[in-house]
Structure 1
């Protein structure tokens, strides 16, 4: 059944999809359909920052599993990924970090024209409503609330003091002139409440007559006329429904979902698709170049109440009255970009202080004070491929963590830098010295054995539909008309940071690219 025709069909209402939908539908002459496989974001719990760990494994989570990871002794990794309006921006740790300027300049130097730091900075600024106000690096008045955290736990402050005692400078804006140093992170919150892309971009615009948002609507197939993508098939209300896109389809299903969708439509490695009986439309390296950050941590018994023990009735009353205190905590309140070794020219280790025992997506597992970290620019790459041709079957995912000598070297050196921070007076003042989680020793074999046993994803997958490999610098899929990808999967390499802010930036830039194409396209292509 064909339900309707729109100028643009956007698949996935996540961190980028909500942005694209809001920006395109600002023109009342443009009709936009936004499809989300998950549910609405109406639950009040989704706005409470400290409840984020409770969403892992819930109905709001795709809850993927990796294949046995060869670099981790064959362990299977749980891979959380948002399945709700706002996507992972509705369930993540709300950290607002963009990465280093070098990330984007490296992309541009490798052929991603238009993606240098100077060229993407305006999109970061445009999205922001930063409570610090506008300056050369930040914006005010945008849809995305960016704020200083309203929980500065004493254990987090102790970590920052210890890091400075270890020789790392305080940096009050790691999205500013320089990334190096340690500090409290800004978060995607307003008045102590989570501010997802669904909150900032969709909610104010749901009343637009030219914007249709459908939840619980997984896309099962892309529809084609020759080499042009013209629509999508959705499993909705117990049967298939087709929606046509007269201008373009934008796939924003994430670093796991977008490559799966493309491969099911015949866009991917020809050998793999042929083996599954999928007719090949375009032989492209879809699903390859999968990158992520692997985090490991040290946890000590604390002498002060940890975040878990701070969640009292008094804390709840403070939160309800003023939107501040421990319940507004994003758990990972601090961050730092440091060098794993004096021989390293630039920061290559991302470190966080956590006022709790770590677990899950920086979840609260118990009392303690933790220091966690990961190589900020890992060189290991994995892949994603289809198990079968059923769209409801989760893909096969292998990240290949720790499979390069560089990643192993950086991990060993970085773990030793974290240990040095825990040996500083400020950290010892809040710790009994009893190690709750850590390696038996700090020689390379002991560290690697520990990391292989305990390391987990930092939930920063990207690169599976990379610019220059699967899509061109304007995010158009090579060899296919009317189809773009706009999400973390297009990042040519993982940023030296969390990836949510870069993904929102991708959505902003994608919207401009689409609008520019519309302005120059023949009228018959852009009208229903």
Structure 2
């Protein structure tokens, strides 16, 4: 494998065609496509380059990145629904965003997920509309077919030597009636099988590596790392630039064609509100002058609730961690009549528990775990600023377990995981319960879920797209009421899909670039700053 590239150091100019704020899944994709089209692009990233960092590159060490210098360190606010606990919500603060710090899973969910987007007002976002963009992202090890892409920026592989506990999960699920699935990124994601990862040659394949590294040397790309954005430049009804800290100095850079926000479901609404775009009542209470009223900013927060996790004693040592510490997955229906799978489980090659659950149970010795969660969660939350300063705290509340149906589905999910250890597949591994310490009745299971409820890190929906008054962006990802401002990250998702959000956010970035470039395909890009035509 060639050595990683050096990030070129370029002097900042006063203006560019486009400024992209945030270099994660969506931001990296839109940046690359704009650069490929010949636009002059400034990419602003709050965190460092993160190139050549062992904890980032080694798939087995990704959990070390949580609460590290590459993590924003956000928390979900306490709620009585989760026993008053504070739940950490890791978000990458590094080139590549969360794609450089996550568990590297690549899933797009079920085709019906995107038909649901169109049904609630995201016109042109059905699965038939988005499938070409998913395929365009991919360099799938199995090669191109009707569902998968090859030759795209992001390498996707499966673990060539899975750990036996993850394999037992697949076989045990089959014994319980869950079908095998050869490709959960195909026509249906229900079933048990090997997981798809953004890993190549045993190393993480982040969005930075796939989309950005190959174009570092292009003269029409400038990357400013360690440069947190603090405010948008607004002139009347147009976004004209971005204010950000660069080498400790406040800088304002202009964008001739437009600004693209890709800071994620927490960072994007935060920057909008700090810039005076949001609910006037909320902004006014903080002394922030309203530049543009958009009451939907920060609403509709969604995430998948995770029971972290159900821990079991192992009959023998687990051995070295393989891959990302997982390796397989299972999606299933908690009720036979459901239209699509709503629950998800994954293996952990070691113990896994919230701090509270770990303190209440003995997890010493040889222990493995299975995380269980809900992929069709109904609960909705919010994000609010608690101050007008750029570094002011926020109230980030997902309202986990607010809907009784979510709790009922999680009870079924925990029961399914408990039943797995009674299958022949786990006969050589299961030596007893660890956390919880025994099988639980329904009341006890609810109590355990509340104490063990955590997050899949799938925050989305806080700047949702649509055509109604609470929509923040329209179906072409343009901010409603402000020219020259687009959003290209998971915040625009109207309904959370049944998958990890990295792949959908990447697809959104790809589409954002197409929307931006479409009117200029036969025109000059950056009329005010450039003369060459797009291809």
The normalised TM-score by structure 2 is 0.91
Aligned in 2, Cα 1:523/1:371: closer, same or farther, shift over 3 Å? closer
Matched, 1:349 2:343: yes
1:335 aligned to which of 329, 333, 336: 329
Matched, 1:253 2:263: yes
Query: CA-to-partner distance for each residue in 1:407-430, whole Å, 9 max, x for gaps?
Result: 111111221122222221211321
Query: CA-to-partner distance for each residue in 1:23-68, whole Å, 9 max, x for gaps?
Result: 101123x100000000012134121100101111111100112221
- Report the equivalent of 1:42: 51
Which residues of structure 2 form unaligned runs of 5+? 1-11, 531-535
Matched, 1:168 2:181: no
- Report the equivalent of 1:379: 378
Q: Distance in 2 between matches of 1:55 and 1:367?
A: 24
Secondary structure of residue in 1 paired with 2:157: strand
Q: Distance in 2 between matches of 1:78 and 1:40?
A: 23
Alignment of 1:180-329 (within 5 A): 180-284=190-294, 285-296=296-307, 297-306=309-318, 309-311=319-321, 326=322, 329=323
1:473 aligned to which of 472, 475, 487: 475
Alignment of 1:75-90 (within 5 A): 75-90=85-100
Secondary structure of residue in 2 paired with 1:223: strand
1:150 aligned to which of 147, 151, 160: 160
Q: Distance in 2 between matches of 1:487 and 1:502?
A: 9
* Contact residue 303 and residue 398 of structure 2 kept, 8 A: yes
Output the aligned Cα RMSD.
2.1
Which residues of structure 1 form unaligned runs of 5+? 312-325
Matched, 1:74 2:73: no
Q: Distance in 1 between matches of 2:522 and 2:481?
A: 20
Alignment of 1:439-454 (within 5 A): 441-454=439-452
Aligned in 2, Cα 1:365/1:521: closer, same or farther, shift over 3 Å? farther
- Report the equivalent of 2:6: none
Alignment of 1:43-122 (within 5 A): 43-45=52-54, 46-122=56-132
* Contact residue 17 and residue 526 of structure 2 kept, 8 A: no
Cα drift, residue 521 of structure 1: 7.4
Cα drift, residue 165 of structure 1: 0.8
* Contact residue 301 and residue 461 of structure 2 kept, 8 A: yes
* Contact residue 86 and residue 198 of structure 1 kept, 8 A: yes
Q: Distance in 1 between matches of 2:122 and 2:527?
A: 27
Aligned in 2, Cα 1:6/1:523: closer, same or farther, shift over 3 Å? closer
Q: Distance in 2 between matches of 1:137 and 1:217?
A: 38
Secondary structure of residue in 1 paired with 2:108: coil
1:131 aligned to which of 137, 141, 146: 141
